[in-house]
Structure formats: C-alpha cells, structure tokens
A = this chain, B = another copy of it.
C-alpha cells in the first residue's frame, strides 16, 4: 500500500466512509451526499491532506473570466494560450457571468477536469474553493490588472504607479505644463496608483497639478467624449490630457474632432493599456503599455511551475512602458506664456 493510499484509508476511517467515497470527493465525482461530502472535506483538511500534484492532471489550463469581454480579454487569452502552447497544453475558458467569483458548479467541474493549473482574471476565489483546490494540488494564480490583490492568493499585475510617472514625464518633456487627467474609477487601486504616479512626476518637476482639470471616469469611451468636451472648453484649456485607458483616450480624440481641434497640434493625448486599437485610431495613440498578454502568460507559467500546488511568487508586477505614436507633440504655446490662443 502506498503512503498516499494509507493516508486515504485513515481519512476514510475518521470520516466514517469507505476509501472509495474519499476518492469520489477528491475527484469531484457525483453520488456523494452534500453532508458526507462536507464531512470528508473536513477530514481531508484535518489530516492536512495534499493530493500529489502530478496525479491525473489533465493537459490544459483553466482560464476563468467574469465575462469574456472585448480587446482586453483577447490579450490575456493570447498570453495564456502562448504559455499553454509552449508546454503542449490547451486552454479551457470559463465565464462566471455576473458573479464576481466562480460558483460551486464551476468548482465541481474543475475538480473533475483536474487541470494542470487555474488562471483567474479579476476574480477572487471563496476561501472554501481555495482550500479545495489546494488540497488537490491544483495551483491557481490571479491576473489582477486592478492592482488590488488578495493577500493570500498569488497574482500578476503591472506597475500602475510607474505607468502614471511615464505618462507625466513624457508630456513634461514635450513642454506641457497644463495637463488634464480623466482617470478610471476612483475606487479602483489601479486608477489611484496611476494618478499618484502622475502627480509624483509633476511634483518632481515642480509643475503644479491642475485639480480643476481632474475627472474620474469609468474606463469608457463616453467618459473621454463627455469629460473631454468639458475639459477642452475650459477657459484655461489644458494643452494635454492623460486618459485612464485607451478607450477613454479614443473618446477624447472624438471630443477634439467634434470641437474642430487637431490632435496633437491643439491638444496632446496619452492613453493607457496599449490595446491593438491604440495603433488604429486617427492619429494613432501615444499610450502606456500594460503588458496584458505577458501578464496572462506569466500567470499561467507560475501556475504550471508550482511545486505540489504551491505557487512560488505572492505577487508579480510586470513593467509598464511608454509607447510614443502620433497623439502627442510639444504644445503650441511654450510654458511660461501668459495667454493661450484659441483654435
């Protein structure tokens, strides 16, 4: 009898069930009452049971989104796919729908499927699900671009604060001194970190932050359109706008177009994310690249390289970089001039 089988026998005894029932619970099979299942899970936890990691792991990565949405999701899928291909695996996509965490049916399916690893985008897992995955040796990593990782789950994000610094420095170097900001949601850490980095770079350069020209949006094109129109009609019109993401920046582009302003001649615009659309706009967007594909790839590799279900790193933030395209240029008016000619 192997060591693992001996352990299962002891667990079965303490839960007052047969070893085959323990095995059913471990492998997510049906035919066990909820009450018995709970007793077995409890016994597994009490004995500190850890299923050997490589036993019956299937050749795929489980990738979970709340919602498979737009260009953002495809970048992450592409990265996870890249990691999967490099290891000869496939990717299983699941959606949790309106819930913020995967539900019990999802967990039951995953326990049956026995993936080589789980990558969750944005979502967190209920404590119970974390335990059940952990004791089956199924490693999981969260891709968390929101910058607010759960402390007990390994996650991959990107350097939001540095991204804000990069955006500000680029505009400062071009000579901008009057810069508006349309941030993402005020309650998201990534939005706050980007703004905080942006302000730190202005401080460093001794340039005052225009708090009259700060708006908090919701990462939507409409935010860029509406706040952009408002900001571009201020009596003291900013010479540049830093948008919370590329979609917001596209809205600002449209606001400028509707007001008859030329980008970058009349106003410079910096986006954030560097989705594919950033290079397709008119003009193509200068933006801060958040390496979403690399984040997905890194999360998948961390999960796949976990030893005995334990992922090495608690949190990895990948670097953000400045991508200069055609939506930024020096302002028409040099810093220090008192009046700004209107278009």
Contact = CB atoms under 8 A, between A and B. Distances in A.
A18 interface: no
A46 to B, nearest CB: 32
B81 A74 contact: no
Nearest to A85: B95
Given A68-B78, A97-B85, A247 B280 contact: yes
- Number of copies of this kind of chain in the complex: 2
Interface string A233-247: 000000000000001
A124 B257 CA distance: 45
Contact of A68 (B70, B81, B250, B283): B81
Interface string A72-104: 011001100100010010111111010000000
Contact of A281 (B74, B91, B109, B282): B282
B92 A60 contact: yes
Nearest to A260: B262
Interface residues of A, number: 34
Nearest to A97: B85
Contacts of A78: 68
Contact of A280 (B85, B93, B95, B221): B221
Contacts of A221: 280
A148 to B, nearest CB: 25
A277 interface: yes
Interface of A: 59-60, 68, 70-71, 73-74, 77-78, 81, 85, 88, 90-95, 97, 105, 109, 113, 221, 247, 250, 253-254, 257, 276-277, 280-283
19 contacts: A60-B92, A68-B74, A70-B276, A71-B74, A74-B77, A85-B95, A85-B97, A88-B105, A90-B92, A90-B93, A90-B94, A90-B113, A91-B92, A91-B93, A92-B92, A250-B281, A253-B282, A254-B283, A277-B280
Q: What 8 A-B pairs come out closest when comparing CB atoms?
A: A254-B282, A74-B74, A91-B93, A257-B282, A90-B92, A250-B280, A92-B92, A90-B94
